[in-house]
Structure 1
Amino acid sequence: MKLNIVPARTGLEWTRLGVRVFWRQPMALAALFFLSMAAMSLATALPLVGPALALALLPSATLAMMVAAAEASHGRTPTPRVLLVAFRTGRERLQAMLTLGALYAGGFLLIMGLSALIDGGEFASVYLGGQPLTREIAESGDFQLAMWLSLLLYVPLSLLFWHAPGLVHWYGVPPVKALFFSLIACLRNLAAFTVYGLAWMGVFLLAGLLISLLVTLLAGLGLGAGFAGGVMVATAMSLAAMFFTSVVFTFRDSFQAPQWQPPSTEAVPPPEPPPSV
């Protein structure tokens, strides 16, 4: 396995491929993303350990969407079985994925703990769903400072875990090494990831504008607010599923193995790079 350095324009290609592959299997990929989020929401409801458990599931959920996107890119329909892919490829990789989940949960909760030193835990309570966001809270200086600190600290955490699930699953890299390689790969391809982030920001803004116009049109036709709200939620879920679909392409182009060796017969390799990349 070696690190690939890609040009900045590849970030646009990653975004385009995420959208294109999603629309090959929109119902399957959207449903898998919804089921992943539903599982995390159910985990959150558990007393005491719920929020930490939900956070620990995120690397596995990300891997499931990567495998599902790889399936779709190869012309196959991903099934709900991919949701358990992190737990079906042998004891060693299972332990590695559990370790990744624990490390991610610990890192995220540490960030929330640091933000609590500033505002007494208000941002953490709002973000984790334990307290509603009011105008008074949102306008608080301490709350805003805690929010920006959390965002700043979350960036390196995200880079550490961006490629780590794929490295553990497809290349059998130990968890700590996977975090290190993920960080290095993201930093070495920072230009491409910057374009990638800006491209997705543009997609979300454009979609938000179109949905706002659609909701206004529906209101003019006398359709209820509930229907318009349903359209907005469905669009947001689809956009999030598209984004997670594109993650596998960032992984595929950032690493290259000398010879592909799938960890099991059920594992799906990352999609082949198109000639344009």
Structure 2
Amino acid sequence: MKLHIVPARTGFQWVKLGAKTFFRQPLAMGGLFFMFMAAVSVLSLIPLLGTLISLALVPAATLGLMAASREAEQGRFPMPTLLVTAFRSGPANTRSILVLGAMYAAALMLVFGVGALLAPDVPAIEMPEGEVSPERVRAMFNNPGLWVALVLYVPVLMAFWHAPALVHWYGVSPFKSLFFSLMACWANKGAMLLYSLGWMAVIMMAGVVMNLLAVLLGGAALLNIVLYPMVLLLAAMFHTSIWFTVRDSFVTQEDRAA
């Protein structure tokens, strides 16, 4: 395995490949992502422990969606069993992905904890359910804890971005995978930046389209009906694209020989 440096413009290509691959198998890719979200929703019913388990399963679920994206890219139908790919390759791989999940949960709880400590004590703003006021938005963006948590989350995200794939497909240990993932994201920071900006643009365009439809066809009621499915679709499409960032960031001896 060797790190592969890609041009910055590849970031936009990853976005396009993610969308293209998703629409090859929209029911399968959307269904797999929905299954993961359903499992998280059920686990969240368990106080505290459910949240920790949900966070710990994120690397395994990410790997499963990568495996499904790889199948869809090659023209095959991604089966539901791919979602548990991390637990189907023997005890050693299972142990490694569980260790990685535990480290991810611990890192996220640390980030949340630091953010909560720095959050100011502000009185709750009573608003009707579902309504967002300018005061609530202003209070959220004026929260220093939010910005500190976001800054702290960036290196955590970089460290865990490629880690599930490195552990499962390349046999890298959980601790080394975090270092290699961080280095790969940094080495391809131009592509990763354009990749992030590309998805931000997609999300913003989707928001504009939904607002226009709400105005033309029925107001806020219609927006509430289509909002959740649209968010799930965009999230599933985004997770489909993660595989391409991994595929192009690392090469093996077989890849170089081909």
Q: TM > 0.5 between the two?
A: yes
Q: Who is 1:230 aligned against?
A: 225
Code of the residue aligned with 2:177 in structure 1: it is A
Q: Who is 1:50 aligned against?
A: 50
Write out aligned runs for 1:1-277 (5 A): 1-119=1-119, 139-140=138-139, 144-219=143-218, 225=221, 227-259=222-254
Q: Which moved more, 1:44-53 or 1:136-145?
A: 136-145
| Distance verdict in 2 for CA 1:209–1:135, change over 3 Å | closer
Q: Which moved more, 1:229-238 or 1:73-82?
A: 229-238
In structure 1, stretches of 5+ residues that fail to align are: 123-131, 261-272
TM-score, normalised to structure 1's length?
0.84
Indicate if the aligned counterparts of 2:119 and 2:146 stay in contact, CA closer than 8 A. no
TM-score, normalised to structure 2's length?
0.90
Task: Find the residue that maps to 2:24 and give its secondary structure.
Answer: coil
TM-fit CA distance, 1:217: 1.9
Identity across aligned pairs (percent)?
46
Q: CA RMSD in A?
A: 2.3
| Distance verdict in 2 for CA 1:228–1:140, change over 3 Å | closer
Count of residue correspondences: 248
Code of the residue aligned with 1:238 in structure 2: it is L
| Distance verdict in 2 for CA 1:133–1:53, change over 3 Å | farther
Code of the residue aligned with 2:225 in structure 1: it is G
The CA distance in 2 between the partners of 1:117 and 1:206, in whole Å, is 35
Task: Find the residue that maps to 1:184 and give its secondary structure.
Answer: helix
In structure 2, stretches of 5+ residues that fail to align are: 123-130
Q: Which one has a larger percent helix, Structure 1 or Structure 2? A: 2
Per-residue deviation, residues 42-96 of structure 1 (Å, max 9, x unmatched): 1121133111111111111111111111110011111211111111111000000
The CA distance in 2 between the partners of 1:103 and 1:121, in whole Å, is 30
Q: Which moved more, 1:100-109 or 1:204-213?
A: 204-213
Indicate if the aligned counterparts of 1:44 and 1:51 stay in contact, CA closer than 8 A. yes
The CA distance in 2 between the partners of 1:237 and 1:103, in whole Å, is 26
The CA distance in 1 between the partners of 2:241 and 2:11, in whole Å, is 10
The CA distance in 2 between the partners of 1:3 and 1:242, in whole Å, is 25
The CA distance in 2 between the partners of 1:111 and 1:121, in whole Å, is 18
TM-fit CA distance, 1:230: 2.5
